């Protein structure tokens, strides 16, 4: 049974269209629990909460959607509506103004709100290809999405993960570096940047990134696991203390279990 986050979000959209908002909430909360939710999932969950009268929960989810994608016009508009429901008119007006400003900036020849919708369509098509085993085509679709929405860092994060899956560590590193420059507090992206550096053969950069992540999120077991992996690899390649290299620079000969030198026969 397919229980990927993308599949759960697709099911949640079906429940939402049938006006089964509680069913959508249940499915979307499963997605959030995976830690792999993107802006669309938070937006749909916020909208579902709003339609069942849970405005505080709705606002929290819409804020999370906008933290991932600050140019998400629909999330800004729905956030403004929720703020109005909560009686926070000044904040609602500010959210509406922000949505109007974003909607007026063209991208790739399209109005911003149209470009954003097209970007999301590319991403959904990419998800469909990914679920069908078409990783290379999924990457192409996400790259098309980011051409229309370069600030959609939730989509960029997913592109980076797909590039890693495709064995393109250097390309993935570039994507995660863009995210971390734009959003230094996006620690999930920072952790993945460290992994991309490591897989690209730059262990020193990986160590620096992960140590910074540990300082800012000491409770993250994933970062500890990455650093432990680095430490194991470092110790495996170190020459034991007191072991001298041979005059021609070769490592010292291996020793047998009783401590004597192994000799070739």
Residue 45 confidence class, pLDDT cut points 50, 70, 90: very high
- pLDDT tens readout for residues 144-196: 999 988 888 889 999 999 999 999 999 999 999 999 998 888 888 999 999 99
Looking at CATH, the fold of the domain delimited by 5-103 is given as 1.25.40
Say whether 259 sits in a helix, a strand or coil.
coil
- Where does residue 201 fall: left (phi above 0), alpha (psi -120 to 50 degrees), or beta otherwise? left
Contact status, residue 53 vs residue 86, Cβ threshold 8 Å: no
Q: Percent helix, strand, coil in the chain (nearest 5)? A: 70, 0, 30
From residue 151, alpha-carbon distances to 9, 48, 125 in Å are 22, 25, 19
Quick one: what percent of the chain has pLDDT higher than 90?
A: 42
Instruction: Write the pLDDT tens digit of every residue in 210-224.
Output: 999 999 888 778 888
- Please tell me what DSSP assigns to residue 263: -
- The size of the chain, in residues, is 265
The DSSP symbol for 53 reads T
The pLDDT, as a whole number, for residue 3 is 63
Instruction: Give the start-to-end residue ranges of the domains of the chain.
Output: 5-103, 167-237
The predicted-structure confidence for 130-146, as pLDDT tens digits, reads as follows: 999 999 999 999 999 99
Arch. (CATH architecture) of 167-237? Alpha Horseshoe (1.25)
Asked if domains 5-103 and 167-237 share a fold, the reply is yes
With contact defined as beta carbons under 8 Å apart, do 80 and 103 qualify?
A: no
């Amino acid at each position: 049974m397919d229980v990927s986050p993308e599949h759960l979000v697709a099911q949640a959209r079906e429940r939402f269209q049938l006006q089964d908002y509680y069913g959508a909430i249940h499915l979307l909360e499963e997605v959030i629990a995976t830690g792999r939710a993107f802006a669309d999932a938070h937006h749909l969950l916020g909208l579902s909460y709003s339609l069942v009268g849970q405005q505080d929960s709705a606002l929290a989810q819409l804020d999370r959607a906008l933290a991932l994608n600050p140019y998400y016009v629909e999330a800004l508009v729905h956030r403004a509506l929720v703020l109005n429901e909560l009686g926070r008119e000044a904040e609602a007006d500010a959210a509406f103004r922000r949505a109007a400003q974003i909607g007026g900036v063209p991208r790739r020849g399209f109005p911003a709100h149209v470009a954003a919708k097209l970007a999301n369509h590319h991403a959904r098509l990419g998800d469909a290809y990914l679920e069908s085993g078409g990783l290379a085509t999924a990457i192409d679709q996400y790259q098309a999405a980011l051409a229309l929405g370069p600030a959609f860092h939730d989509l960029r994060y997913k592109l980076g993960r797909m590039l890693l899956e495709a064995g393109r560590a250097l390309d993935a590193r570039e994507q995660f570096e863009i995210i971390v420059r734009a959003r230094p507090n996006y620690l999930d992206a920072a952790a993945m940047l460290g992994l991309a550096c490591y897989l690209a053969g730059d262990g020193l950069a990986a160590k620096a990134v992960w140590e910074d992540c540990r300082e800012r999120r000491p409770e993250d077991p994933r970062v500890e696991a990455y650093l432990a992996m680095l430490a194991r690899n470092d110790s495996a390649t170190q020459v034991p203390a007191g072991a001298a290299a041979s005059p021609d620079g070769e490592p010292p000969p291996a020793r047998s279990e009783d401590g004597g030198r192994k000799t070739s026969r």
